Amino acid sequence: MRVVLAEDLHLLREGLVALLRAHGFEVVAAVESGPELLAALVGERPDVAVVDVRLPPTFTDEGLQAALAARRRMPGLPVLVLSQHVEQLYARELLADGSGGVGYLLKDRVFNGEQFVDAVRRVAAGGTAMDPEVIARLLASNARNEPLGRLTPREREVLELMAEGRSNAAIGQRLFLSDSAVGKHTASIFTKLGLAPSDDDNRRVLAVLAFLNSK
Amino acid sequence: MTSARSALTALARSTALAGLALLGLAAGLAMLAAVLLTFAVGLVIVFPPAVRLARVVTRLQRRLAARWSGIPVDEPYRPEPPPPVPQRDGWYRDGRTLYKRPTIPAFNLRWHWMTKDPATWRDFAYLLAAPLTSGLVAAAPLLATAYGVVRLVAGDPVGAVWILLALIVVRWYAPWAVRLHGRVAAALLGPTEKARLAQRVSRLDAARTEAVDSQAAELRRIERDLHDGAQARLVAIGMTIGAAEQLLESDPQAARALLGKAREASATALQEIRRLVRGIHPPVLAERGLGDAVRALALDSPLRTHVTVDLPERASAPLESAAYFAVSELLANAARHGDATEAWVDVSTQGPALRVTVTDDGHGGADPEQGTGLRGIERRLGAFDGVLAVNSPAGGPTTAVIELPRAFRVRPAPTTPWRYFGRLCWGLWPIALFPQGLVAMVLKLVGSPVKSWFLGLHVPEPFQWPVIVGMIALGGGLLAVALATTARTREAEGGACG
């Protein structure tokens, strides 16, 4: 699997390259600034991009902007965004086109190599990987609002894990539910959020989007 | 109908102003008597009451100028001195004299307060001058009518023309007279530039002290948080890794467990630093500016928050930060104390000022005097000369408006050549307008043979009128340019200090 990596801190960049290589990824470009990133994304058309939000030259949100620009040109280009802090605002901007293949994680998550690589794979496959911190803040600020208010506590838990990008099997394992029980919960969530039956993967993305847009 | 009513209102107002001018004249004469008695006879005791009387009358004039002409006139007076404080032995000191009772020191303080304040003497000048200027102007229609009545009674029919003229003209005249009163009041009763600056300096001085204090407290808090949080955790991580190193050979299993612990501790340290950074300078604010930072705040708020942002450019970072934390505190207040479920935040500009309005549907009753949170916002804003206005009736809704002046660049000041051009215009407009324009016109009308240096009279006959009218227009145009350049210069320079 071909990866483009953008990270300005030398140590972290080398660490990520080593981690991804160790898990069988091919790092086709490891860049350290916004313009370089955009050029690499357009030129290499990787299977997935791992991008730090804050990059030179402005050290604002160059990485995020480059990733969004690349996705506008190549819809559905899988992008996993890493940051020292997470904002619901950025999560929404990433998810806004509804085409999936989006991840948004705190940098701390690379401490656990296995989980991180797992997230990269999920994003590359067109799924989502939202940081639990984004979801926690979303829930804290949205406790009373529609349509999330209509979900049962269990359905909420399932939706949270779905937003993190877990498969039905993984959700069942985490919540000690059978696959069919998880299936029932997800179907119920889709109905309550008003998502018409379609390709399951796409609906999962839309559910997460609805979740994030529920204000 | 409405215009007739407004004309009537204006007439009533100008009549009232004329009456008030008489009252002012009485107060002015009283003050004149007091001044003479004080400085010629030494009867100092009559001075303070006369000044107080003058202030009551001028205060009324100020209020009327604001209400009727829409020209706000600030009180120019220096703050009243505090009552004298006794020394430790119970005596009152005034200069090198000690008094047993506070009466005389208090009188001396008041005396200096009144006599040293230029506003006292400007009030005096206004009271004596106003009846002759704006008072007479305001009374003109009445005087004309009265004159007409007198003439009619005397059997002269021309009196009716006077009355008719007054009735026709008053409709346009009265509003103008009221406005003139407002301008005169603003010119003489408002604070002088010096007084305004003095007030501003003392306000800024207080704001700076508060800003420095709160900044020092903030730095202490950050230091403590780092010391007790991230720093302590890094020490623990170092120790844990050291222990793991020791065990690596003998007990790899235990070493692995320790390393896992070290990793967890580093994640916690990161979390703490993240929280701290959010409190110092939120990352979204640094990355996206005030608009998106407020949007991010709205997303994290438990209230359903609607945000509208209309900003031409980014303000300076410290200013953005002050506005951001103010909004953050206001939203938190609304959720915590106000029981609100919905909030509206509007971020926009008001000329060069940044204005943020936060409205919520809570139960209201917020009071800046009570809440330390609101006081904190005022302090933060005060460092930038900003203000917070809270309107929160019991039962809601609560509206808080933050205004930070001079957040954005004002229109650029005229360049030096433009200023010289403006001065040239100031010099030339009277020449074009008066001798070359109006005087030449009068000479032409009366058919005088004098041509002097009037260009319009030297040119061939068919061009004489166009040249004269052109001169008048040129004079007016030059005056307009001169006024505009000066106004722009004032505005741009006033932006820095007024």
CB-based contact A144 B341, cutoff 8 Å: yes
Residue B232 has pLDDT above 70, yes or no: yes
Q: Are B403 and B353 in contact (CB under 8 A)?
A: yes
Hunting for tokens 């070493």 — which residue is that? B255
pLDDT band at B403 (very low <50, low <70, confident <90, very high): very high
pLDDT the model gives residue B411: 60
A53, A89, A141 member nearest B301 (Cβ): A141
| Mean pLDDT in residue range B17-36 | 86
pLDDT the model gives residue B125: 86
CB-based contact B302 A85, cutoff 8 Å: no
Q: Is residue B161 within 8 angstroms of chain A, CB to CB? A: no
CB-based contact B302 A144, cutoff 8 Å: yes
- Chain A residues contacting B, CB < 8 Å? 53-54, 60-61, 83-85, 87-89, 92, 107-108, 111, 137-138, 140-145, 215
CB-based contact B299 A111, cutoff 8 Å: no
- Chain segment B321-347, per-residue pLDDT in tens: 999 999 999 998 888 887 888 899 999
B271, B283, B299 member nearest A88 (Cβ): B299
ipTM: 0.80
Angle (CA) B215-A87-A189 rounded to 5° is: 145
DSSP A128-192: EEE-HHHHHHHHHH-TT-TTGGGS-HHHHHHHHHHHHT--HHHHHHHHT--HHHHHHHHHHHHHH
What is the pLDDT tens value at each position of chain A, 215 positions in all?
Answer: 999 999 999 999 999 999 999 999 999 999 999 999 999 999 999 999 999 999 988 888 999 999 999 999 998 899 999 998 988 889 888 888 878 789 999 988 888 888 899 999 989 988 888 888 888 787 777 655 666 677 888 888 888 888 777 888 888 888 888 888 888 888 888 887 767 665 566 677 667 766 666 54
Residue B461 has pLDDT above 50, yes or no: yes
pLDDT band at B496 (very low <50, low <70, confident <90, very high): very low
Strands B97-99 and A2-6: unpaired
Q: Is residue B336 within 8 angstroms of chain A, CB to CB? A: no
| Mean pLDDT in residue range B359-387 | 82
Angle (CA) A204-B294-B220 rounded to 5° is: 115
pLDDT the model gives residue A39: 93
CB-based contact A89 B292, cutoff 8 Å: yes
Q: Is residue B275 within 8 angstroms of chain A, CB to CB? A: no
Higher pLDDT, B135 or B322: B322
Least reliable range by pLDDT among A210-214, B87-91, B206-210, B319-323: A210-214
Q: How many CB pairs under 8 A join A and B?
A: 55
**Closest among A215, A121, A98 to A170, alpha carbons compared:** A121
pLDDT the model gives residue A24: 93
Q: In the predicted model, what is the mean pLDDT of chain B?
A: 84
